């Protein structure tokens, strides 16, 4: 156990590595076993990262993974439900983030002082996709914080997590302006007409899209720093 | 307690994590460590673990330190301790 005030900083991991190291150095053990209750938020990814693999054994309601105590580094390939679901959510999260970046980039590239009807419809469509993906990112992101990965204490304490959440919400707020403009175009696009926009409107939309792209890049940087435990 | 906490927080380096034997001087600090309220169903308190260890010859346990601050507790079952300690100590029979 790690005291609540000291959690989320890798101390448990460091301590367990010390234990594993001591056990290995004695050289008389074949395996190291542990047990935990499986389920959402279970420490499976944590122990897996330390080399513990499923054995199929149970101790009451708890599963019993093992790690080799001799330094044979055979890696078993069989995934366990926890790791697979956690990986799937990570995949979904990344996919949505790539989609968001692509959607905003497409809007930025397609924007012009006098967009054609095709351009305008493309921009409107990518804005809808952006909106849906933003919801997916937030929902999946919070599921990952609360049910998978490093535990919510880690995220709550990490400045880069807070920064990336703020940046992403900033992108969301900024996107309100172009979204409102794109929705106004519908009066024209529904009748099969290209929207007419003032130079000022064009310039401010492009500027907002540019800032959104920059903020998204900064968000990705914060995410990488956070995932490596910088600042925690 | 708050100042200890801040001191340890300033000490960011994980290389300062160590496992130490619990002594009469440190046992109370170890007993005071606790997980968050919503984690209590997952793990026994340190008081319970140490009480169980008293009756389990195979129990091996250490306090986890960050620098000079006790921050956690680890306990495992070492089967070699069981066989070693269960060998009847012939010379010291009757000792309390």
Map out the domains of chain A as residue ranges: 4-68, 81-227
CB A38 within 8 A of CB A64: no
Interface of B with A (CB under 8 A): 5, 8, 12, 14, 17-19, 33-36, 39, 42-43, 46, 62, 64, 66, 71-74, 76, 80
- Provide the ipTM: 0.73
Q: What confidence score (pLDDT) does residue A155 get?
A: 76
Q: What confidence score (pLDDT) does residue A142 get?
A: 87
What tens digit of pLDDT does each residue of A198-213 get? 899 999 999 999 999 9
Rounded to 10°, the helix A176-189/A117-147 angle is 140
Q: Is the dihedral of CA A227, A155, B71, B37 positive or negative?
A: negative
Nearest CA in chain A to B79: A29
Q: Confidence class of residue A102 from pLDDT cuts 50, 70 and 90?
A: very high
Q: What confidence score (pLDDT) does residue A134 get?
A: 95
CB A129 within 8 A of CB A96: no
B9 is a domain residue: no
**Rounded distance between C-alpha atoms, residue A85 and residue A164, angstroms:** 23
Please answer yes or no on whether B74 and A5 come within 8 Å at the CB atom. no
Find the domain containing B28 and state its range: 14-86
Q: Confidence class of residue A23 from pLDDT cuts 50, 70 and 90?
A: confident
Q: Which two tokens stand for residue A21?
A: 């190291």
B96 is a domain residue: no
B6 is a domain residue: no
- Cα dist. A180→A53, A176, A177, A189, A208 in Å? 51, 6, 5, 14, 12
Percent of chain A scored above 70 by pLDDT? 89
Q: What confidence score (pLDDT) does residue A180 get?
A: 95
Closest Cα partner for A217 from A97, A93, A110, A111?
A: A97
Cβ-Cβ contacts under 8 Å between A and B: the total is: 60
B91 is a domain residue: no
- Does residue A72 sit at the B interface (CB-CB below 8 Å)? no
Contacts of residue A11 in chain B, CB cutoff 8 Å? Answer: 14, 17, 64, 66, 71-72
Q: What confidence score (pLDDT) does residue A39 get?
A: 73
Domain total in chain B: 1
**Rounded distance between C-alpha atoms, residue A174 and residue A161, angstroms:** 20
Closest Cα partner for B43 from A37, A173, A207, A134?
A: A37
DSSP string, B30-50: HHH----GGGTTTS--HHHHH
What tens digit of pLDDT does each residue of A58-93 get? 777 777 887 766 544 333 334 455 677 888 888 999
Q: Confidence class of residue B58 from pLDDT cuts 50, 70 and 90?
A: confident
**Rounded distance between C-alpha atoms, residue B74 and residue B26, angstroms:** 15
How close, in Å, is residue A127 to chain B by CA atoms?
40
Please answer yes or no on whether B35 and A22 come within 8 Å at the CB atom. no
B42 is a domain residue: yes
Residue B8 has pLDDT above 70, yes or no: no
B64 is a domain residue: yes
B4 is a domain residue: no
Tell which CATH architecture fits domain A4-68: 3-Layer(aba) Sandwich (3.40)
Please answer yes or no on whether A18 and B18 come within 8 Å at the CB atom. yes
Q: What is the pTM of this model?
A: 0.51
Lowest pLDDT segment from A95-104, A127-136, B9-18, B69-78? B9-18
Contacts of residue B58 in chain A, CB cutoff 8 Å? Answer: none
Q: What confidence score (pLDDT) does residue A197 get?
A: 87
């Amino acid at each position: 156990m790690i005291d609540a005030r000291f959690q989320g900083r890798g101390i448990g991991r460091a301590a367990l590595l010390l234990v594993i190291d001591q056990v290995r150095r004695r050289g008389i053990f074949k395996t190291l076993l542990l047990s935990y209750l499986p389920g959402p938020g279970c420490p499976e990814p944590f122990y897996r990262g330390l080399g513990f693999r499923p054995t199929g054994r149970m101790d009451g309601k708890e599963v019993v993974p093992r790690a080799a105590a001799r330094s044979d580094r055979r890696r078993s390939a069989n995934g366990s439900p926890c790791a697979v679901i956690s990986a799937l959510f990570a995949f979904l999260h990344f996919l949505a983030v790539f989609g968001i970046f692509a959607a905003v980039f497409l809007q930025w590239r397609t924007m012009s002082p006098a967009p054609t009807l095709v351009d305008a419809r493309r921009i409107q469509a990518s804005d809808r996709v952006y909106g849906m993906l933003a919801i997916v990112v937030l929902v999946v992101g919070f599921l990952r914080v609360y049910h998978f990965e490093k535990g919510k204490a880690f995220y709550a304490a990490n400045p880069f997590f807070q920064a990336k959440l703020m940046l992403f919400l900033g992108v969301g707020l900024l996107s309100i302006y172009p979204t409102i403009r794109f929705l106004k175009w519908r009066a024209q696009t529904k009748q099969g007409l290209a929207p007419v926009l003032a130079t000022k409107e064009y310039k401010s939309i492009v500027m907002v899209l540019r800032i959104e792209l920059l903020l998204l890049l900064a968000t990705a940087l914060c995410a990488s720093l956070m995932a490596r435990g910088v600042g925690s | 307690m708050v100042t200890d906490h801040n001191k340890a927080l300033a000490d960011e380096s994980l290389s300062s994590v160590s496992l130490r034997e619990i002594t009469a001087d440190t046992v109370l600090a170890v007993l005071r460590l606790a997980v968050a309220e919503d984690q209590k169903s997952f793990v026994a308190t340190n008081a319970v673990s140490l009480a169980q260890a008293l009756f389990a010859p195979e129990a091996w346990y250490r306090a986890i330190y960050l620098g000079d601050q006790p921050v956690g507790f680890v306990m495992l079952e070492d089967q070699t301790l069981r066989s070693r300690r269960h060998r009847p100590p012939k010379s010291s029979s009757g000792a309390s």
